[in-house]
């Protein structure tokens, strides 16, 4: 019961030990003091709430917001003491906001529950009592043997026991986990691989010891102890033995595996953990404004309370004849009376805090985010991918970016590798028509037209064909792109690889005569010039970012034990003792200068004694349960030494389309671009120059290859000095990973000073965590700039999560970056539209929304405060309680919401073609102290005009009706309220630059709705109302011609100064944005855009645009889809502006 309660409350009890022991088929030992471990069941829970905790948990989350909590306090105060307004005035808006939010979150959670139930109820087959039993996924327990058939997904994390293949191997695709579509091979240990039937598996007696669950998809440490007759055989278990929940079985009829991690302890579920909540600068400003308005509220309440007692110091006002005090009131404590009066004034003025602001902002962000997905300019037709929004909370942050941190490979480049050159034994080669040709020789020259390979060339190509993780699609009967022809031999093979480099190299080797034809068990088959050779795969030393290399140990057909290694030149060359090391190093640098990605290839021969020692060390390290990674790293370093260098490869990664133009546009917008890459120095610099990140005229400063703090500090000081001396020239900085570590350790301020004075920064040889550290360094600097990180691979995830805004590229390196990002786009070039158009619009919209909300609430509550001066601070309310309740909910809510969804103050093509306009909104310009002060003062000014304008009209008991009848206080309050509703709605209309039929409908409709509602509310006696002070008041007010004249006069008086200010500022001190608006109005633009259309419908509409070329379309449009003609008009506008 206690465990169930803990689960319902969301507590996960910590594991008691570092490892878990799993008895296969749950055959627990019958003797000894065995205490069974408790494991999670196999239910997946992605929902946030349960039936039991929804109400308390949801209420707790909602009341953490300042405004909600504040209104709750006000509501409770109204219930406890006698206040001038009904508790309904605070309770109803609060109830509305809380209910709307709770319904939205409850519905979203219900959908998650529904999806969970589908997954948890899926049918599975489990081996129990000597047979296959069909059960539901949620009933699987740790230790159960599960059968999975071809093309089914794994219901739990399984350790592979056997498959339908003799060697116990199977192929798996993990596309749903990390996006990698290549087939990965998993292998069972030999002792269980032979158990291919249910009957044999039921007799298996074995124990698995492994680490407790962790989120890393690529890490698993364990060992299996199989009881075979009288002996116990221990085998290591690693990632190659673990089949992850969510992955799919391919090219294998069926497998059996034992469940090791279940339910919320599977690696897939652990990777669902929520990211740290990112908050936008606008939200932080909003909270600051709330606190300021809270101070204003407290000031008004305290002042009113003091003035009340100052007024009541005179006896005639303390107890007038018409309001004598009771005995209880005379004897009550003055302190308690003061507190009670203070709270009453607090309640009276409480609407200065806009409770509906949060729910409006939430709706604006949620609905506004759809426009990014609908934008056809962000749609990539080749891959059929459109922009994706994972976090709508940061839309406006796209308009505030000051630093962009970008990955290189797959982000600036295509990540489509093409083999270009290689160096073998100190000689450079190029591929010419399917043949390796030494540099300087053409195909027609005597040496260039060879049909055989030299010994060194053949060994190099064999190393390339054996040292990899490439898979072959065994279902393939025809080559996807037609067969490759290698020396006349058709090889219809389709390769899959997690690394595009590996695939390019294996394909290149196959074209020139050495073809990798696949693996069978532990045998790799290679055809060298048509002659098949079989190599036994003995060990794979997996690639890792620290070693920056991978190796295989194979047994050649002659029985020789060979190690083949490939990796970065910085990790291979220092470990090589023979071969053409110096020539190869020169060639690698030349390849890098051309912008090619380089890898070095080496090998080593083992004597039988050496191999025996290696096998023993590898077994010990792989079966260790503690510090396995450290032990394996030591063994790998021991094996990968004394290498003989074979050569190097150069693979080209093409730049993406319009990368140069995008980087230049970002620079014009005042955004600094930093490239963070793992590539070598020369390659990274070459690509930076070709993509426009570095200019040819730029002074390139370098901070590379430093080994000590002192040399690094000295170099930094020299760089700072050079920048000061040559301050006119633009500077670019290149820094490598090792130098960066030294710079950040002791000289952080100096390093940051150098970086900030450089126009562009390139960091090469970067580890993933170093990328995140650089982003954090800029984020936490004194200026607190807004950062954006963009990348496409798993190594970019930490950087994407660290930045204020993270953008994933839907590339070829899996989907980890997309899954962990806030936004996802298909190409780097889309970044300009995302920032300059969507970011600009979202920021302007929400900045105006927030300021306008505070403005209209100041307009609303200030007359209430002024009215107290005319009623002896008796806490008499100016407005009827229904008007108090509906002001923010109904009368003034829709115009600002529609504005915040559709406003486009400048033509989108102008925004994109003139990136300099982005500078106008940088550094939170529209939500700074000056704009905030302007809107607040404007609110107070309008409130004074509302109140005193109405007072001048009615204050001296003037009769405004033909029969001489006087108006009362409710009529006066209604007049003020009517003027206010019209003025604040018209103010929103003045702020709107882009009018659609929806804007017209809600703007004028809100005013009409107010009049109709007031007529019905005051024209009928409602039986359920306790009092009806407003009966016939509104009808009486509208029957006076003087009242109509007053309404018009006061509205004009309020808005006249606004209009004058706008006109003067736009003509005398126009900003770049206002210039763009003026020129937009002068040029006739025929906008052929599709508004508010889903992607498929918008695309169909685009085909019909040519029929409308002569028509001036004035309907609503969004940045969804732009026709070519619209773009031409925008260019015309741009030329006009430049002239």
Catalytic residue IDs: 407
Q: How far, in Å, CA of 71 to CA of 60, rounded?
A: 14
- The pair of structure tokens assigned to 291 is 């606190």
Looking only at the bridges linking them, the beta strands covering 242-243 and 388-389 are: unpaired
Is the CB of residue 1034 less than 8 Å from the CB of residue 1012? no
**Beta-carbon contacts of residue 388 (< 8 Å; ≥ 6 apart):** 373, 810, 818, 823, 824, 825
Q: Please give the structure tokens belonging to residue 571.
A: 């990790």
Torsion of CA 830, 831, 832, 836, to 10 degrees: 120
Q: Residue 303 — φ and ψ, nearest 5°?
A: -60, -45
State how far Cα 892 lies from the chain centre. Answer: 33
State how far the Cα of 755 lies from the Cα of 720, in Å rounded to an integer: 9
Q: Which is it for strands 823-825 and 805-809: parallel, antiparallel or unpaired? A: parallel
Compute the residue count for the chain.
1139
Distances (CA, A) of 1077 to 842, 904, 1120, 1134: 17, 10, 20, 12
Q: How far apart are CA 402 and CA 756, in angstroms?
A: 12
Could you write out the DSSP letters of every residue in 217-280?
A: TT---EEEEEEETTEEEEEEE-GGGEEPTT-EEES-SEEEEEEEE-GGGSHHHHTTPPPPPP--
Burial, 745: exposed, middle or buried (Cβ in 10 Å; 0-12, 13-18, 19+)?
exposed
Type and span of the H or E element at 652: strand 643-655
Helix (DSSP H) and strand (DSSP E) numbers for the chain: 41, 37
Q: Which two tokens stand for residue 667?
A: 């620079």
DSSP of 503-527, one letter per residue?
A: HHHHHHHHHTTEEEEEEETTEEEEE
Q: Are 510 and 435 in contact (CB under 8 A)?
A: no
94, 347 in Cβ contact below 8 A? no
Q: What's the CA angle centered on 211, arms 207 and 217, to 5 degrees?
A: 115
Quick one: DSSP state of residue 324? P
Place of tokens 């946030």: 48
124 phi-psi bin (left φ>0, alpha ψ -120 to 50, beta other): beta
Distance separating the N- and C-terminal Cα atoms of the chain:
78
The two tokens of residue 478 are 């025809």
Starting at the edge strand found earlier in the chain, the sheet holding 248-250 runs 184-187, 169-173, 248-250
β-bridge partners, 655: 413
- Interior angle at CA 56, CA 50 and CA 57, nearest 5: 65
**Structural contact between residues 610 and 560, judged by C-beta atoms closer than 8 angstroms:** no
Which residue's structure tokens are 């269980």?
A: 192
Cα(757)–Cα(260) distance, rounded to whole angstroms? 54
């Amino acid at each position: 019961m206690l465990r169930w309660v803990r689960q319902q409350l969301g507590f996960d009890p910590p594991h008691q030990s570092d490892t878990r022991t799993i008895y296969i088929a749950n055959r627990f030992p019958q003797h000894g003091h065995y205490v069974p471990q408790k494991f999670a069941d196999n239910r997946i829970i992605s929902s946030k709430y349960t039936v039991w905790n929804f109400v308390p948990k949801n209420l707790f989350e909602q009341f953490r917001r300042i405004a909600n909590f504040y209104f709750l306090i006000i509501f409770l105060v109204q219930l406890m003491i006698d206040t001038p307004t009904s508790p309904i005035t605070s309770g109803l808006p609060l109830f509305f906001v809380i209910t709307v939010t709770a319904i939205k979150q409850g519905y979203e959670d219900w959908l998650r529950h529904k999806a969970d139930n589908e997954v948890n109820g899926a049918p599975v087959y489990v081996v129990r009592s000597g047979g296959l039993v069909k059960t539901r996924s949620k009933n699987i327990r740790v230790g159960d043997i599960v059968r999975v058939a071809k093309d089914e997904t794994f219901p739990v994390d399984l350790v592979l026991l056997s498959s339908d293949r003799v060697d116990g191997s199977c192929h798996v695709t993990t596309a749903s986990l990390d996006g990698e579509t290549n087939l990965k091979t998993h292998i069972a240990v030999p002792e269980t691989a032979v158990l291919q039937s249910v009957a044999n598996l039921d007799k298996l007696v074995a124990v698995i010891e492994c680490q407790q669950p962790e989120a890393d998809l690529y890490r698993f440490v364990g060992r299996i102890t199989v009881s075979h007759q009288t002996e116990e055989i221990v085998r290591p278990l690693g990632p190659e033995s673990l089949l992850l929940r969510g992955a799919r079985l391919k090219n294998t009829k069926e497998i059996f595996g034992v469940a090791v991690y279940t339910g919320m302890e599977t690696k897939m579920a652990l990777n669902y953990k929520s990211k740290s909540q990112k908050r936008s600068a606008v939200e932080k400003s909003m909270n600051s404004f709330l606190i300021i308005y809270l101070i204003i509220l407290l000031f008004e309440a305290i002042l009113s309370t003091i003035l009340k007692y100052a007024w009541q110091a005179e006896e005639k006002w303390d107890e007038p004849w018409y309001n004598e005090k009771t005995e209880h009131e005379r004897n009550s404590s003055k302190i308690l009376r003061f507190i009670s009066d203070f709270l009453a004034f607090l309640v009276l003025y409480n609407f200065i805090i806009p409770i509906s602001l949060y729910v409006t902002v939430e709706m604006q962000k949620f609905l506004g985010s759809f426009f990014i997905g609908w934008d056809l300019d962000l749609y990539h037709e080749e891959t059929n991918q459109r922009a994706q929004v994972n976090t709508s909370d940061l839309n406006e942050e796209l308009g505030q970016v000051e630093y962009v941190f970008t990955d290189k490979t797959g982000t600036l480049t295509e990540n489509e590798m093409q083999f270009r050159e290689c160096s073998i034994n100190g000689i450079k080669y190029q591929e010419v028509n399917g043949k390796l040709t030494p540099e300087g020789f053409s195909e027609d020259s005597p040496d260039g037209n060879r049909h055989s390979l030299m010994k060194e060339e053949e060994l190099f190509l064999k190393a390339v064909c054996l040292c990899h993780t490439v898979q072959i699609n065994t279902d393939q009967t025809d080559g996807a792109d037609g067969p490759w022809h290698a020396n006349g031999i058709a090889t219809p093979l389709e390769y899959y690889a997690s690394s595009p480099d590996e695939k390019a190299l294996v394909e290149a080797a196959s074209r020139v005569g050495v073809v990798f034809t696949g693996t069978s068990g532990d045998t790799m088959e290679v055809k060298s010039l048509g002659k098949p050779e079989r190599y036994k795969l003995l060990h794979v030393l997996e690639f890792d970012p620290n070693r920056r290399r991978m190796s295989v140990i194979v047994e050649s057909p002659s029985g020789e034990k060979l190690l083949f290694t490939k990796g970065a030149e910085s990790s291979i060359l220092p470990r090589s003792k023979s071969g053409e090391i110096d020539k190869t190093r020169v060639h690698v640098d030349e390849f890098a200068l051309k912008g090619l990605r380089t890898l070095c290839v080496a090998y080593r021969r083992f004597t039988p004694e050496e191999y025996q020692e290696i096998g023993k060390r590898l077994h010990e390290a792989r079966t260790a349960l503690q510090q396995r990674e450290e032990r394996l790293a030591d063994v790998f370093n021991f094996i990968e030494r004394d290498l003989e260098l074979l050569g190097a490869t150069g693979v080209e990664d093409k730049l993406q389309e319009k990368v140069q133009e995008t980087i230049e546009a970002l620079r014009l917008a005042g955004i600094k671009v930093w490239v963070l890459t793992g590539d070598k120095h020369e390659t990274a610099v070459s690509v930076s120059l070709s993509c426009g990140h570095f200019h040819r005229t730029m002074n390139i400063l370098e901070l590379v290859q430093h080994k000590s703090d002192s040399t690094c500090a000295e170099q930094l000081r020299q760089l700072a000095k050079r920048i000061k001396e040559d301050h006119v020239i633009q500077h670019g900085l290149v820094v490598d990973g090792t130098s960066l570590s030294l710079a950040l350790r002791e000289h952080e301020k100096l390093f940051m000073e150098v970086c900030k004075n450089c126009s562009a920064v390139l960091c090469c040889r970067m580890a993933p965590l170093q990328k995140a550290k650089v982003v954090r360094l800029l984020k936490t600097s004194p200026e607190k700039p807004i950062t954006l990180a963009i990348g496409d691979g798993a190594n970019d995830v930490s950087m994407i999560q660290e930045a204020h805004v993270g953008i994933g590229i839907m590339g070829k390196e899996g989907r980890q970056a997309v899954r962990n990002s806030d936004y996802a786009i298909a190409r780097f070039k889309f970044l300009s539209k995302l920032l300059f158009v969507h970011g600009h619009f979202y920021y302007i919209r929400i900045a105006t929304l927030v300021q306008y909300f505070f403005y209209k609430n100041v307009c609303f509550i200030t007359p209430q405060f002024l009215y107290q001066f005319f009623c002896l601070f008796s806490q008499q309310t100016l407005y009827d309680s229904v008007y108090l309740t509906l002001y923010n909910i109904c009368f003034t809510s829709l115009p600002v919401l529609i504005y915040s969804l559709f406003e486009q103050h400048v033509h989108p093509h102008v925004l994109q073609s003139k990136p300099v306009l982005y500078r106008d909104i940088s550094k939170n310009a529209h939500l700074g102290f000056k704009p905030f002060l302007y809107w607040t003062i404007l609110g107070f000014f309008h409130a004074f005009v509302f109140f005193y304008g109405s007072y001048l009209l009615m204050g001296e008991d003037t009769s405004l009706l033909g029969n001489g009848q006087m108006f009362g206080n409710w009529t006066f309050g209604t007049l003020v309220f009517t003027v206010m509703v019209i003025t604040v709605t018209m103010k929103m209309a003045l702020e709107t630059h882009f009018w659609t039929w929806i804007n017209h409908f809600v703007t004028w409709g809100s005013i009409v709705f107010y009049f109709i509602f007031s007529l019905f509310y005051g024209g009928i006696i409602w039986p359920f109302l306790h009092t009806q002070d407003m009966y016939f008041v509104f009808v009486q007010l509208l029957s006076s011609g003087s009242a109509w004249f007053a309404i018009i006069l006061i509205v004009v008086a309020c808005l006249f100064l606004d209009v004058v200010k706008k006109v003067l500022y736009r003509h005398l001190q126009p900003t770049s944005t206002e210039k763009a608006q003026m020129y937009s109005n002068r040029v006739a633009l025929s906008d052929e855009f599709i508004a508010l259309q889903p992607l498929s419908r918008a695309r169909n509409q685009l085909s019909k645009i040519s029929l409308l070329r002569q028509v001036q379309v004035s309907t609503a449009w969004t940045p969804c889809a732009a026709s070519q003609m619209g773009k031409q008009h925008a260019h015309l506008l741009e030329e006009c502006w430049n002239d």
